[in-house]
Structure 1
Amino acid sequence: METRQVTDAWTRIETWIAHHAPHTQGLLLTGASPDAVTGLQRQTGVRIPSSLKALWARCAGTRSARHSTFLMGGHALMRLETVAAKYSQEMSHQRLHTDDTVTWRAAWIPVFSFSADDQTSGLYMDTETGRLCRWTRYAQHHPEPEYESLTDYLEEMADSLETPDLATSDKPGLVAGALVWGSMINPDDEHLWTPLTA
């Protein structure tokens, strides 16, 4: 069921982007092969949930470019090689702590980041619960979930694009063919940003 729900939600998002945001459409990478996801599982030692596999099968990340943070809340979908590198980095940091301090757990897989090339903050999936939680550079992790599941996140984004008046957590808009959320407007782009309307 999760696979179908994620696939359906992403299809809605992709369809909207194809019709309204050509710049953003050009940033989407093609889906990852099953072998690529299996390779990531071997690298991390973490079993990737079916919901995340379904997303990566449709889109394996975002190209490095301006406005790569097209996902709700101003996030970029991390490329698989970036996921592996960030995971390895955080697990290395965790091993440096000889006390009970938790900076990262083995079950956490980073999914969305501050931008395509900046992983100082973002959302990780707790693969034991399916919840999406936030990490930042200084307060390394926030155990309270931002979203109960990847499905919830993608469905809320799809709903916000299709019916902008219902958007609650962030407002979508366009800048020169790019999907840009209100929380991520660059001051230089404020006069160009057009909020979506019903």
Structure 2
Amino acid sequence: MTGRIPRTRDIEARQVADAWARIETWIARHAPRTRTLLLGGASRDTVTALQRQTGARIPSSLSALWARCAGTRADRHSTFLMGGHALMRLETVATKYGQEMEFQRRYTDSAVTWRAAWIPVFSFSADDQTSGLYLDAESGRLCRWTRYAQHHPEVAYESLTEFLEEMADSLENPGLATSDEPGLVEGALVWGSRIHPDDVHLWTRLTA
């Protein structure tokens, strides 16, 4: 037998990259304002430096996402991800991770509020990390965090791939969207769950 069997993490990285490419292609065609908010990809050295700084093991699936886009600029429409989340900038990831690990070290005894394998990825907004989704590097699941201590993981998605593929499917076939409804506000991608009161009359639901 020639060649090698693709490793699971290689497959996941490719799936994430493919799903993000679908999302970015849709945004480039339909949401020009959102497109201006996307940062460029992070280099391998930058991700390695983040890993060294935090001490966390960065899964290849997450590295694949950051290689395509390393966060979003601060803007009222930065929450363009399904469910109304913002993609955190890498420096914000490091800060949030450090804060949570320091709280774990200093203010808890036997209770677990944050684990070393929990890497914050999506937040309430580009500049507000009171809630969001973290990637559990051990299980591969996306779980919720809030301003309150997380003693037990609340699973939101089984994987980063699942989240991004569902978002891509919802954009390409909005009639099949189940988790949230995609729409547009003056060239910005805005999900039904996070419409700003000032934008209600401007929001246009996507149709097939």
TM-score (norm 2): 0.93
Correspondence for 1:53: 63
Instruction: Report if the CA contact (8 A) 2:97-2:120 is conserved.
Output: yes
Q: How many residues align?
A: 198
Structure 1 residue 21, shift from structure 2 partner? 0.2
Where do residues 124-139 of structure 1 align in structure 2 (5 Å cutoff)?
124-139=134-149
Map 1:33-72 onto structure 2 (within 5 A). Answer: 33-72=43-82
Change (3 A) 1:71 1:98: closer
Partner of 2:84 in structure 1?
74
Does the 8 Å CA contact 1:135/1:142 hold for their aligned counterparts? Answer: no
2:29 counterpart (19, 24, 30): 19
Indicate yes or no: 2:199 matched with 1:189: yes
Q: Which residue of 1 aligns with 2:40?
A: 30
Structure 1 residues 121, 68: CA separation in 2 closer, same or farther (over 3 Å shift)? same
| Equivalent-residue separation in structure 2 for 1:20 and 1:66 (angstroms) | 18
Distance 2:109 2:149 in 1: 17
Are residues 166 and 89 of structure 1, via their aligned partners in 2, closer, same or farther at CA, if it must alter by over 3 Å? same
The unaligned stretches of length 5 or more in structure 2 are 1-10
Q: Note the C-alpha offset of 1:99.
A: 2.4
* Conserved? CA contact 2:124–2:131, under 8 Å: yes
Task: Judge conservation of contact 1:135–1:141 (CA < 8 Å) in 2.
Answer: no
Residue in structure 1 matched with residue 103 of structure 2 by the alignment = 93
Contact 2:184 2:204 in 1 (8 A): yes
Aligned partners of 2:111 and 2:151 also within 8 Å = no
Q: Which residue of the partner structure matches residue 179 of structure 1?
A: 189
State the alpha-carbon separation in 2 of the partners of residues 176 and 127 from structure 1: 37
Q: Residues 158 and 144 (structure 1 numbering): CA distance in 2 closer, same or farther, change over 3 Å? A: same
After TM superposition, give the deviation of residue 97 of structure 1 in Å. 3.1
**Shift, 1:4, TM fit:** 0.9
Aligned to 1:112: 122
Indicate the residue corresponding to 1:102 in structure 2: 112
Aligned to 2:114, the other structure's residue is in SS state coil
> Does the 8 Å contact 2:88/2:126 carry over to 1?
yes
Query: For the aligned residues, what is the CA RMSD?
Result: 1.0
What's the CA shift for 1:171?
Answer: 0.3
Tell me which structure has the larger Cα radius of gyration.
2
Percent identical pairs in the alignment equals 80
* 1:160 matched residue in structure 2: 170
- Structure 1: stretches of 5+ with no match in the other structure: none
Aligned-pair distance for 1:98? Answer: 4.1
Q: Is the 8 A contact 1:134 1:141 kept in 2?
A: no
Compared CA separation, residues 184 and 142, structure 1 to 2 (3 A) = farther
Q: In the superposition, relative to structure 1, how do residues 141 and 117 fare at CA in structure 2: closer, same or farther (>3 Å)?
A: farther
TM-score of the two chains, using structure 1 as the length reference: 0.98
SS of alignment partner, residue 28 of structure 2: helix
How far did residue 144 of structure 1 move? 2.8
Q: Does residue 1:123 correspond to 2:103, yes or no? A: no
